[in-house]
Amino acid sequence: MTAPHPGTRPHEWVRPGPDGSPLWGHRDGMRVGLPPLLGPRGLLRVYTPYLGHDPDRMVNYVAIEPRPRRSVRRGYSELERSRLDDEPGLRLWTGEPGPGHDPGVVEVVAGVECLTVLVHCERFAGGAEVDVRVRFRADRPHEVELAAVTRPGSVPLRHCVLSATMGNFARLRTLRLLDGPVRAGELWPRHRSSRFTRRARFGLHRLPRDVEGAAVVTVLGDEPAPEQAAYAADVAPHWHWYGRRAEQSWVVPDPSRHLVAAVNGRVVYWASRSPIPGGIAFENVEVIEPYRPLRPLRFRVEPCDPAPHGDRLS
């Protein structure tokens, strides 16, 4: 892991050195990484060591999924095959293509120290060319702000969805709505296939708001002790949950009236037929809105339980 570089007083940031890993974020909070760190290509990695996770344990991934204005199909940064090297997953990089990584910029934004880095994604098959601005605020150690923007030469976009794609690791089954929680088992009570379910969609009027008026899409598990689950023998060890329970949220400032929160589910773990303990859980959790350049979305992972006494979880 890259050694943390101190930011301006008093915050400490994790940033890549000249030959370090592509990893940015809070010394004692959330971090975001890129390939070649462990995991599939085409995805931002989200790390939450404050949950008691090992430094290389992802709590979730974020995929980039643009939909061109004249198309009914999305692009999928994880699933498309690269046209740069003919490998699965689109290439992500910072700075100029080649060795080394942009350390990002530490600056004061609206009175708060921030670390910002721009992530480039290679061109999608449908013609979209998208960058994602990744920004951490010193006063919000458990979240990251993500903002997509097209590059010159891109086709116009209808949407650019940033999708949290690995809800099954934490076995997220409850979605908080304004009129009460809804559970994955209630949305798809008869789903038994190894495929994804259809997306369930919820309009802006169904979503809670925070004190600043932002719409909040929160999902969490329904097990009081998920680390004690009984797994089938064929479930790979990397799917076994450990650490503190947490809720995961998309926070949407200034939401469009056309905003839709969407979730889908699975009964087996990705790329396997291994059953998820306890049954169906959310896999993808996302917000769909009309495309707005550099429209900020905040992804937050907040512990539900206090840290064990005497433990240092960062």
pLDDT of the residue at 307: 65
Q: Give a yes or no: residue 179 inside a domain.
A: yes
- Same domain as 57, residue 16: yes
Residue pLDDT, tens place only, 207-246: 999 999 999 999 999 999 999 999 999 999 999 999 999 9
CA gap 75, 88 in Å, rounded? 13
3-state secondary structure at position 102: coil
Q: Are residues 124 and 207 in the same domain?
A: no
At 280 the pLDDT is 98
Out of 165, 193, 215, a domain closes at: 165
Same domain, 158 and 213: no
- Is 311 a domain residue? no
Provide the 10 A C-beta neighbour count for residue 81: 13
User: Residue 9: its pLDDT value, please?
Assistant: 55
In the listed set 165, 182, 201, which residue is the last one of a domain according to the structure?
Answer: 165
Predicted local distance difference test score (pLDDT) of residue 1: 37
In this prediction the pTM is: 0.93
Please tell me the total count of domains within the chain.
2
Predicted confidence at residue 310, as pLDDT, reads 42
The residue assigned the tokens 């009236």 is 257
Residues 75 and 149 in one domain: yes
The reported pLDDT for the residue numbered 18 is 73
**Tokens coding 216:** 């909040």
Q: Got the DSSP string for 156-170?
A: PEEEEEEEE--HHHH
Examine residue 312 and state whether it is found in any structural domain, yes or no. no
Residue 280 inside a domain? The answer is yes
Whether 270 and 158 map to the same domain: the answer is: no
Final residue of a structural domain among 140, 165, 190: 165
Domain with 130, as residue range(s), is: 1-165
Distances in whole angstroms, Cα of residue 15 to Cα of each of 2, 98, 148: 7, 18, 21
From residue 73, how far is each of 24, 80, 84, 114, 307 by CA, in Å?
Answer: 32, 12, 22, 35, 43
Residues 203 and 99 in one domain: no
3-state helix/strand/coil string of 205-246: HHCCECCCCCEEEEEEECCCCHHHCCCCCCCCHHHCCCCCCE
Q: Which segments in the chain show pLDDT lower than 50?
A: 1-8, 309-314
Q: Residue 314: inside a domain, yes or no?
A: no
d(CA 166, CA 46): 10
